[in-house]
């Protein structure tokens, strides 16, 4: 997620606006207390696991209207509304979530949790390791997208939801949506996989690895033991700047910045900031280090790079075998991080399994970040798809009462 700093907040998303969920409180729940720890894909065990989460709307009596939203790399549980009246910005997907919005909180019960490995309230490398009384640092086990969804299953159980109406996510959130559908095929009716991939590409791994190297070669990183001291902020800022370029598009950068100068009316002939695009990137890097933990960045990008839905499952075709959910797959024309051809691979494997699949490639200049920005086509597709599923599921559960 990149340009959330810049989203112009529509009137109806503003605090007090008729289509805002208003003030929401982040909640916390703890699972996997020893000795019942979570067995991770690595074979290691993790627990206790605290998840920070938010919910919006009301769970129906039939528990048939729950939608689990997964966040991307730098996201968190706060997907809609405001945590306090002083908040300047709403949650990261407020455009889609609220009364009479595509994921309509008058109708649906929306859940979003911070991933494990994160730094926004869920257990991660900056959390206290109960065995040592100090932050985990690199003692935190390397986790996978599969581990993220296994942790979130605790929450779904805890909330008393046997079967979700839908799982929804963009980017790394889309990976979690796919993984949920394959790991827990009976536990969602629908999957919305947006601007995502079934397996991280070599180019994607390459960008992430350079970011990790930037963090790990920062003299303040200290093998991850920097809590309470100076943080590897320069390395993390560089990692963020690299990643940020991959969230935009060549065309959008040309339109937005071109070769325009930042403050001076001529080239500076020095190594300070000449161009607006340089200033913008530095701002993105600097603001990111104030809100994100460098070790979490290592762990989450590693989970992304490890992501391969086919691993241990033979092929994409076999991975989706027997999955009963319906799918909406969305890509954006200018997304070169998870390009359309990767979505089409997904769609081919789904269709070959006879799975009901809607595929939409949305024209957009905004690159990978398109999924976070106002987009009529995305809003309509999400709204129509989920409403459709809801009508069907609701008529069934209505009958079964």
Q: Which of the residues are catalytic?
A: 171, 335, 368
Q: What is the three-state SS of 302-345?
A: HHHHHCECCCCCCCHHHHCCCCCCEEEEEEECCCCCCCHHHHHH
For residue 194, is the peptide bond before it cis, meaning its omega torsion is within 30 degrees of 0? no
* Contact call for residue 275 and a second copy (CB under 8 A): yes
Binds a second copy (CB under 8 A): choice among 4, 12, 39, 278:
278
From CA 111, how far away is CA 156, in angstroms rounded? 9
Q: How far is the CB of 256 from a second copy (least distance, A)?
A: 7
Based on CB atoms, which residue is closest to a second copy, 148 or 355?
148
The verdict on 87 binding a second copy (CB under 8 A) reads no
Q: Does 386 bind a second copy (CB under 8 A)?
A: no
The two three-digit tokens of residue 368, written as one number: 């990978």
Q: How far is the CB of 255 from a second copy (least distance, A)?
A: 9
201 binds a second copy (CB under 8 A): yes
User: Which 140-169 positions form the footprint of a second copy (CB under 8 A)?
Assistant: 141-142
Q: How many Å apart are CA 394 and CA 401, to the nearest integer?
A: 11
Q: Does 234 bind a second copy (CB under 8 A)?
A: yes
- By CB under 8 A, tell whether 308 contacts a second copy: yes
Q: Give 113's strand partners.
A: 53
Q: Which of 64, 339, 373, 389 binds a second copy (CB under 8 A)?
A: 339
Burial 56-66 (b: 16+ CB within 10 A, else e): bbebeeebbbb
Interface pick for a second copy out of 61, 88, 219, 265 (rule CB under 8 A): 219
> Rounded to the nearest whole angstrom, what is the least distance from the CB of residue 297 to a second copy in the complex?
11
Q: Contact, 197 vs 100, CB < 8 A?
A: no
Name 50's bridge partners. 30
Residue closer to a second copy (CB basis): 93 or 140: 140
Instruction: Considering only the stretches 52-60, 304-312, 317-325, 385-393, report the one whose residues sit in contact with a second copy under the rule CB under 8 A.
Output: 304-312
Q: Is 363 exposed, middle or buried (0-12, 13-18, 19+ CB in 10 A)?
A: exposed
Residue 285, interface with a second copy (CB under 8 A)? yes
Residue from 234, 231, 217, 246 nearest 286 by CA: 234
Closest listed residue to residue 168, CA positions, set 198, 191, 197: 191
Question: Cβ of residue 264: shortest distance to a second copy, in angstroms?
Answer: 13
Q: Which is nearer to a second copy, 292 or 299 (CB)?
A: 299
- The answer to the question of residue 396 lying near a second copy (CB under 8 A) is no
Nearest-angstrom CA–CA distance, 200 and 304: 7
Our finding on whether 88 is near a second copy (CB under 8 A) is no
Told to check if 390 binds a second copy by CB under 8 A, we report: no
Positive or negative, the Cα torsion across 299, 37, 176, 354? positive
Binding site for a second copy (CB under 8 A): 42, 44, 138, 141-142, 199-203, 205-207, 209-210, 212-214, 216-219, 234-235, 237-238, 241-242, 245, 248, 250, 253-254, 256-259, 267, 269-271, 274-275, 277-278, 281-282, 285, 298, 302, 305-306, 308, 336, 339
């Amino acid at each position: 997620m990149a340009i959330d700093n810049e989203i112009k907040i529509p009137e109806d998303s503003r605090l007090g606006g008729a289509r805002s969920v208003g003030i929401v409180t982040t909640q916390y729940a703890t699972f996997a207390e020893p000795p019942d720890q979570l067995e991770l894909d690595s074979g290691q065990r993790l627990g206790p696991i605290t998840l920070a989460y938010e919910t919006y709307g009301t769970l129906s009596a039939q528990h048939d209207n729950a939608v689990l939203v997964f966040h991307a790399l730098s996201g968190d549980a706060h997907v809609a509304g405001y945590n306090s009246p002083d908040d300047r910005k709403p949650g990261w997907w407020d455009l889609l979530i609220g009364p009479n919005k595509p994921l309509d909180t008058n109708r649906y019960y929306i859940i979003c949790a911070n991933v494990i490995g994160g730094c926004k309230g869920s257990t991660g490398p900056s959390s206290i390791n109960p065995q040592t009384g100090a932050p985990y640092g690199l003692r935190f086990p390397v986790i996978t997208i599969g581990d993220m969804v296994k942790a979130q299953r605790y929450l779904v159980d805890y909330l008393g939801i046997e079967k979700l109406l839908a799982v929804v996510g963009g980017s790394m959130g889309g990976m979690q949506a796919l993984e949920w559908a394959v790991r827990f095929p009976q536990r969602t009716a629908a999957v919305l996989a947006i601007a995502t991939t079934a397996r991280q590409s070599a180019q994607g791994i390459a960008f992430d690895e350079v970011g990790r190297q930037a963090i790990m070669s920062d003299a303040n990183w200290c093998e991850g033991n920097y809590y309470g001291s100076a943080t590897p902020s320069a390395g993390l800022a560089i990692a963020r700047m690299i990643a940020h370029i991959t969230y935009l598009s060549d065309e959008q950068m040309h339109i937005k910045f071109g070769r325009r100068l930042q403050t001076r009316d001529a080239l500076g002939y020095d190594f300070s900031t000449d161009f607006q695009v340089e200033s913008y990137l530095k701002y993105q890097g600097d603001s990111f280090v104030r809100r994100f933990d460098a070790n979490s960045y290592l762990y989450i990008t590693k989970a992304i790079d490890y992501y391969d839905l086919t691993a241990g499952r033979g092929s994409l075709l076999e991975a989706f075998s027997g999955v009963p959910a319906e799918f909406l797959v969305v890509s954006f024309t200018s997304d070169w991080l998870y390009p359309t051809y990767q979505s089409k691979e997904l769609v081919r494997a789904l269709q070959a399994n006879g799975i009901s699949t809607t595929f939409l490639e949305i024209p957009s200049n905004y690159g990978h970040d398109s999924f976070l920005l106002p987009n009529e086509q995305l809003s309509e597709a999400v709204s129509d798809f989920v409403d459709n599923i809801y009508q069907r599921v609701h008529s069934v559960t209505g009958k079964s009462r």
